[in-house]
Protein backbone atom coordinates (compact mmCIF):
# COMPACT_ATOMS: atom_id res chain seq x y z
CA UNK A 1 0.00 0.00 0.00
CA UNK A 2 1.28 3.46 -0.87
CA UNK A 3 2.69 5.44 2.04
CA UNK A 4 0.32 8.36 1.43
CA UNK A 5 -2.75 6.18 2.13
CA UNK A 6 -4.05 4.52 5.30
CA UNK A 7 -7.15 2.32 5.74
CA UNK A 8 -8.99 3.08 8.98
CA UNK A 9 -11.23 0.35 10.38
CA UNK A 10 -14.58 1.70 11.59
CA UNK A 11 -17.34 0.17 13.74
CA UNK A 12 -19.83 -1.96 11.86
CA UNK A 13 -22.65 0.52 12.50
CA UNK A 14 -20.60 3.63 11.69
CA UNK A 15 -22.40 6.01 9.32
CA UNK A 16 -20.06 8.40 7.51
CA UNK A 17 -22.98 10.30 6.01
CA UNK A 18 -24.17 11.35 9.47
CA UNK A 19 -20.67 12.59 10.31
CA UNK A 20 -20.63 14.58 7.07
CA UNK A 21 -23.98 16.08 8.01
CA UNK A 22 -22.45 17.41 11.19
CA UNK A 23 -19.23 18.58 9.53
CA UNK A 24 -21.15 20.45 6.83
CA UNK A 25 -23.63 22.14 9.15
CA UNK A 26 -22.24 25.66 8.73
CA UNK A 27 -20.78 27.18 5.58
CA UNK A 28 -18.52 29.48 7.62
CA UNK A 29 -16.53 26.56 9.04
CA UNK A 30 -12.88 27.33 8.31
CA UNK A 31 -10.91 24.43 9.82
CA UNK A 32 -12.07 21.70 7.48
CA UNK A 33 -13.69 21.45 4.07
CA UNK A 34 -16.11 18.88 2.65
CA UNK A 35 -16.36 18.27 -1.08
CA UNK A 36 -17.80 15.26 -2.91
CA UNK A 37 -18.04 13.33 0.37
CA UNK A 38 -14.35 13.88 1.12
CA UNK A 39 -13.28 15.75 4.28
CA UNK A 40 -10.13 17.83 3.95
CA UNK A 41 -8.33 18.93 7.11
CA UNK A 42 -4.92 20.35 7.91
CA UNK A 43 -3.32 19.63 11.28
CA UNK A 44 0.03 20.42 12.80
CA UNK A 45 2.24 17.48 13.71
CA UNK A 46 5.25 18.81 15.59
CA UNK A 47 6.18 21.88 13.59
CA UNK A 48 4.92 20.51 10.26
CA UNK A 49 1.49 21.13 8.72
CA UNK A 50 -0.06 17.95 7.33
CA UNK A 51 -3.00 17.98 4.92
CA UNK A 52 -5.37 15.01 5.01
CA UNK A 53 -8.30 13.83 2.91
CA UNK A 54 -10.74 11.39 4.52
CA UNK A 55 -13.43 9.48 2.67
CA UNK A 56 -15.18 6.15 2.40
CA UNK A 57 -13.55 3.11 0.91
CA UNK A 58 -14.94 2.06 -2.45
CA UNK A 59 -17.27 -0.88 -2.18
CA UNK A 60 -18.53 0.28 1.22
CA UNK A 61 -21.96 -1.21 0.50
CA UNK A 62 -20.52 -4.73 0.75
CA UNK A 63 -21.53 -6.36 4.01
CA UNK A 64 -18.59 -7.10 6.31
CA UNK A 65 -18.49 -9.99 8.71
CA UNK A 66 -16.75 -8.10 11.52
CA UNK A 67 -15.71 -4.64 12.64
CA UNK A 68 -12.09 -5.45 11.91
CA UNK A 69 -12.78 -7.41 8.77
CA UNK A 70 -14.27 -5.04 6.27
CA UNK A 71 -15.53 -1.50 6.73
CA UNK A 72 -12.94 1.25 6.41
CA UNK A 73 -12.39 4.91 5.81
CA UNK A 74 -9.49 5.96 3.62
CA UNK A 75 -7.06 8.57 4.90
CA UNK A 76 -4.79 10.15 2.29
CA UNK A 77 -1.90 12.52 2.92
CA UNK A 78 -1.90 15.21 0.26
CA UNK A 79 1.25 17.25 0.89
CA UNK A 80 3.90 14.54 0.79
CA UNK A 81 4.48 11.10 2.20
CA UNK A 82 4.73 11.40 5.99
CA UNK A 83 7.27 9.70 8.20
CA UNK A 84 6.05 6.71 10.21
CA UNK A 85 5.67 8.76 13.40
CA UNK A 86 3.65 11.41 11.55
CA UNK A 87 1.39 8.75 10.08
CA UNK A 88 0.72 7.32 13.52
CA UNK A 89 -0.07 10.71 15.01
CA UNK A 90 -2.34 11.65 12.12
CA UNK A 91 -4.21 8.35 12.36
CA UNK A 92 -4.65 8.81 16.11
CA UNK A 93 -5.97 12.34 15.51
CA UNK A 94 -8.54 11.20 12.94
CA UNK A 95 -9.71 8.27 15.06
CA UNK A 96 -10.24 10.61 18.02
CA UNK A 97 -11.73 13.45 15.96
CA UNK A 98 -14.32 11.23 14.26
CA UNK A 99 -14.82 9.01 17.33
CA UNK A 100 -14.01 5.81 15.48
CA UNK A 101 -13.23 3.65 18.52
CA UNK A 102 -16.41 4.04 20.56
CA UNK A 103 -18.86 1.17 20.72
CA UNK A 104 -22.43 2.39 21.09
CA UNK A 105 -24.39 -0.82 21.70
CA UNK A 106 -25.10 0.15 25.33
CA UNK A 107 -26.14 3.64 24.29
CA UNK A 108 -28.56 2.27 21.72
CA UNK A 109 -29.98 -0.14 24.29
CA UNK A 110 -30.61 2.86 26.55
CA UNK A 111 -32.22 4.81 23.70
CA UNK A 112 -34.55 1.93 22.88
CA UNK A 113 -36.09 2.33 26.34
CA UNK A 114 -36.32 6.14 26.25
CA UNK A 115 -39.27 7.79 24.43
CA UNK A 116 -37.32 11.00 23.75
CA UNK A 117 -34.15 9.38 22.40
CA UNK A 118 -35.58 6.29 20.68
CA UNK A 119 -36.69 7.91 17.39
CA UNK A 120 -33.61 10.14 17.30
CA UNK A 121 -31.22 7.22 17.74
CA UNK A 122 -33.10 5.24 15.11
CA UNK A 123 -32.94 8.10 12.61
CA UNK A 124 -29.25 8.88 13.16
CA UNK A 125 -27.92 5.43 14.03
CA UNK A 126 -24.20 5.28 13.31
CA UNK A 127 -23.56 8.94 14.17
CA UNK A 128 -20.45 9.39 16.28
CA UNK A 129 -19.58 12.32 18.54
CA UNK A 130 -17.30 14.43 16.36
CA UNK A 131 -14.78 15.98 18.70
CA UNK A 132 -12.29 18.82 19.04
CA UNK A 133 -9.03 17.05 19.95
CA UNK A 134 -7.08 20.25 20.67
CA UNK A 135 -7.71 21.63 24.17
CA UNK A 136 -6.82 25.16 23.01
CA UNK A 137 -9.24 25.02 20.09
CA UNK A 138 -11.98 23.42 22.21
CA UNK A 139 -11.71 26.05 24.94
CA UNK A 140 -11.51 28.95 22.48
CA UNK A 141 -14.46 27.67 20.45
CA UNK A 142 -16.59 27.24 23.55
CA UNK A 143 -15.69 30.67 24.95
CA UNK A 144 -16.48 32.21 21.55
CA UNK A 145 -19.91 30.57 21.65
CA UNK A 146 -20.90 31.92 25.05
CA UNK A 147 -24.13 33.95 24.95
CA UNK A 148 -24.27 34.37 21.15
CA UNK A 149 -25.95 32.50 18.31
CA UNK A 150 -24.11 29.78 16.43
CA UNK A 151 -23.84 31.74 13.18
CA UNK A 152 -22.03 34.66 14.82
CA UNK A 153 -19.82 32.22 16.75
CA UNK A 154 -18.64 30.73 13.45
CA UNK A 155 -18.00 34.23 12.12
CA UNK A 156 -15.82 35.10 15.12
CA UNK A 157 -13.91 31.83 14.87
CA UNK A 158 -13.23 32.43 11.20
CA UNK A 159 -11.90 35.92 11.92
CA UNK A 160 -9.62 34.56 14.64
CA UNK A 161 -8.29 31.72 12.48
CA UNK A 162 -7.79 33.77 9.33
CA UNK A 163 -6.05 36.57 11.24
CA UNK A 164 -3.74 34.54 13.46
CA UNK A 165 -3.77 30.97 12.16
CA UNK A 166 -1.40 29.21 9.79
CA UNK A 167 -2.24 28.78 6.12
CA UNK A 168 -1.45 25.78 3.93
CA UNK A 169 -1.96 26.06 0.17
CA UNK A 170 -2.33 22.90 -1.89
CA UNK A 171 -3.11 22.89 -5.61
CA UNK A 172 -4.46 26.41 -5.37
CA UNK A 173 -6.74 25.65 -2.41
CA UNK A 174 -6.31 27.30 0.96
CA UNK A 175 -6.50 25.31 4.19
CA UNK A 176 -6.29 26.86 7.64
CA UNK A 177 -4.88 25.66 10.96
CA UNK A 178 -5.97 26.99 14.33
CA UNK A 179 -3.61 29.58 15.83
CA UNK A 180 -0.96 28.27 18.21
CA UNK A 181 -1.15 29.02 21.91
CA UNK A 182 2.12 30.93 21.64
CA UNK A 183 0.74 33.15 18.87
CA UNK A 184 -2.42 34.02 20.79
CA UNK A 185 -0.73 34.38 24.17
CA UNK A 186 1.25 37.42 23.04
CA UNK A 187 -1.74 39.42 21.81
CA UNK A 188 -3.28 42.37 23.65
CA UNK A 189 -7.06 42.03 24.13
CA UNK A 190 -7.60 45.17 22.05
CA UNK A 191 -6.57 43.27 18.92
CA UNK A 192 -9.32 40.73 19.39
CA UNK A 193 -11.79 43.48 20.14
CA UNK A 194 -11.16 44.87 16.66
CA UNK A 195 -12.47 41.51 15.38
CA UNK A 196 -15.69 42.15 17.40
CA UNK A 197 -14.82 39.99 20.40
CA UNK A 198 -16.09 41.40 23.65
CA UNK A 199 -13.43 42.56 26.09
CA UNK A 200 -14.33 39.73 28.47
CA UNK A 201 -14.11 37.01 25.79
CA UNK A 202 -10.84 38.43 24.49
CA UNK A 203 -9.31 38.36 27.97
CA UNK A 204 -10.55 34.81 28.58
CA UNK A 205 -9.17 33.51 25.27
CA UNK A 206 -5.79 35.09 25.87
CA UNK A 207 -5.67 33.81 29.45
CA UNK A 208 -6.35 30.26 28.22
CA UNK A 209 -3.68 30.62 25.52
CA UNK A 210 -1.11 31.81 28.06
CA UNK A 211 -1.84 28.93 30.43
CA UNK A 212 -1.39 26.42 27.60
CA UNK A 213 1.66 28.15 26.12
CA UNK A 214 3.34 28.21 29.55
CA UNK A 215 2.41 24.52 30.09
CA UNK A 216 0.33 25.31 33.16
CA UNK A 217 -2.66 23.66 31.49
CA UNK A 218 -2.80 20.73 29.08
CA UNK A 219 -5.16 18.02 27.93
CA UNK A 220 -2.75 15.41 29.25
CA UNK A 221 -2.77 16.98 32.74
CA UNK A 222 -6.56 17.01 32.83
CA UNK A 223 -6.85 13.39 31.72
CA UNK A 224 -4.25 12.28 34.26
CA UNK A 225 -6.48 13.57 37.04
CA UNK A 226 -8.40 10.32 36.62
CA UNK A 227 -11.81 11.87 37.28
CA UNK A 228 -13.24 14.04 34.53
CA UNK A 229 -15.47 15.83 37.03
CA UNK A 230 -12.30 17.04 38.73
CA UNK A 231 -10.99 18.09 35.34
CA UNK A 232 -14.13 20.18 34.81
CA UNK A 233 -13.59 21.77 38.24
CA UNK A 234 -10.00 22.55 37.24
CA UNK A 235 -11.17 24.29 34.08
CA UNK A 236 -13.69 26.35 36.06
CA UNK A 237 -10.85 27.82 38.10
CA UNK A 238 -10.05 29.90 35.00
CA UNK A 239 -11.83 33.23 34.95
CA UNK A 240 -14.47 33.15 32.22
CA UNK A 241 -14.88 29.35 32.26
CA UNK A 242 -18.19 28.32 33.82
CA UNK A 243 -20.05 25.00 34.06
CA UNK A 244 -21.40 25.04 30.47
CA UNK A 245 -17.96 25.71 28.98
CA UNK A 246 -16.25 23.09 31.14
CA UNK A 247 -18.91 20.47 30.38
CA UNK A 248 -18.75 21.17 26.64
CA UNK A 249 -14.96 20.80 26.64
CA UNK A 250 -15.23 17.64 28.73
CA UNK A 251 -17.65 16.27 26.15
CA UNK A 252 -15.88 17.17 22.92
CA UNK A 253 -12.21 17.28 23.90
CA UNK A 254 -11.72 15.12 26.99
CA UNK A 255 -14.18 12.56 25.60
CA UNK A 256 -16.27 12.13 28.72
CA UNK A 257 -19.29 10.10 27.47
CA UNK A 258 -21.38 11.36 30.38
CA UNK A 259 -20.54 15.06 30.17
CA UNK A 260 -23.79 17.00 30.26
CA UNK A 261 -23.99 20.71 29.30
CA UNK A 262 -27.16 21.16 31.33
CA UNK A 263 -27.78 24.81 30.45
CA UNK A 264 -27.15 24.42 26.70
CA UNK A 265 -29.73 26.37 24.69
CA UNK A 266 -29.56 24.01 21.73
CA UNK A 267 -30.20 21.02 23.96
CA UNK A 268 -33.24 22.74 25.48
CA UNK A 269 -34.57 23.63 22.03
CA UNK A 270 -34.13 20.05 20.79
CA UNK A 271 -35.94 18.65 23.83
CA UNK A 272 -38.76 21.16 23.39
CA UNK A 273 -39.19 20.10 19.78
CA UNK A 274 -39.07 16.40 20.66
CA UNK A 275 -41.77 16.91 23.31
CA UNK A 276 -43.89 19.01 20.96
CA UNK A 277 -44.00 21.89 23.41
CA UNK A 278 -44.07 25.65 22.80
CA UNK A 279 -41.81 26.64 25.70
CA UNK A 280 -38.39 25.29 26.57
CA UNK A 281 -38.11 22.85 29.48
CA UNK A 282 -36.90 24.05 32.86
CA UNK A 283 -33.43 23.15 34.07
CA UNK A 284 -34.93 20.78 36.61
CA UNK A 285 -36.81 18.93 33.85
CA UNK A 286 -33.67 18.66 31.73
CA UNK A 287 -31.67 17.48 34.73
CA UNK A 288 -34.26 14.81 35.51
CA UNK A 289 -34.30 13.61 31.89
CA UNK A 290 -30.52 13.51 31.94
CA UNK A 291 -30.44 11.13 34.89
CA UNK A 292 -32.12 8.51 32.72
CA UNK A 293 -29.42 8.98 30.07
CA UNK A 294 -26.47 8.25 32.35
CA UNK A 295 -23.70 7.25 31.62
CA UNK A 296 -24.26 8.40 28.01
CA UNK A 297 -25.44 11.97 28.47
CA UNK A 298 -22.85 13.41 26.07
CA UNK A 299 -24.09 11.15 23.28
CA UNK A 300 -27.72 11.85 24.13
CA UNK A 301 -26.93 15.56 23.86
CA UNK A 302 -25.05 15.17 20.58
CA UNK A 303 -27.87 13.14 19.02
CA UNK A 304 -30.45 15.70 20.12
CA UNK A 305 -28.33 18.51 18.69
CA UNK A 306 -28.35 16.62 15.39
CA UNK A 307 -32.12 17.12 15.13
CA UNK A 308 -31.59 20.89 14.84
CA UNK A 309 -29.89 20.97 11.42
**Backbone dihedral angles phi then psi of residue 237, each to the nearest 5 degrees:** -75, -15
Per-residue DSSP letters for 81-149?
PPPHHHHHHHHHHHHHHTTTT---HHHHHHHHT-TTTHHHHHHTTT--------HHHHHHHHHHTTTS-
CA trace torsion 150, 193, 208, 263 (10° rounding) = -30
109 is annotated as an active-site residue: no
Q: Which of 13, 36, 109, 264 is catalytic?
A: 264
Report how far residue 106's alpha carbon sits from residue 124's, in angstroms, rounded to the nearest whole number. Answer: 16
Beta carbons of 250 and 142 less than 8 angstroms apart: no
Report how far residue 241's alpha carbon sits from residue 254's, in angstroms, rounded to the nearest whole number. Answer: 16
Q: Which residues are catalytic?
A: 264
Amino acid sequence: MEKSLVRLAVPQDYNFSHSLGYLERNESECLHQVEDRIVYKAIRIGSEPVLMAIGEEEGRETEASSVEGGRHLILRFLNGEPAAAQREEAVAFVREWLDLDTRLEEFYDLCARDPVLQPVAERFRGLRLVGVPSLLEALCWTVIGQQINLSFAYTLKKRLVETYGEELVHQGRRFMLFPSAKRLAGLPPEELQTLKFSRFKAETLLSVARLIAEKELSKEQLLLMGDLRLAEDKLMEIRGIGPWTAQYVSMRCLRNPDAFPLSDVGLHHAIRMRLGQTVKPSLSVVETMGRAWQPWRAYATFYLWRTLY
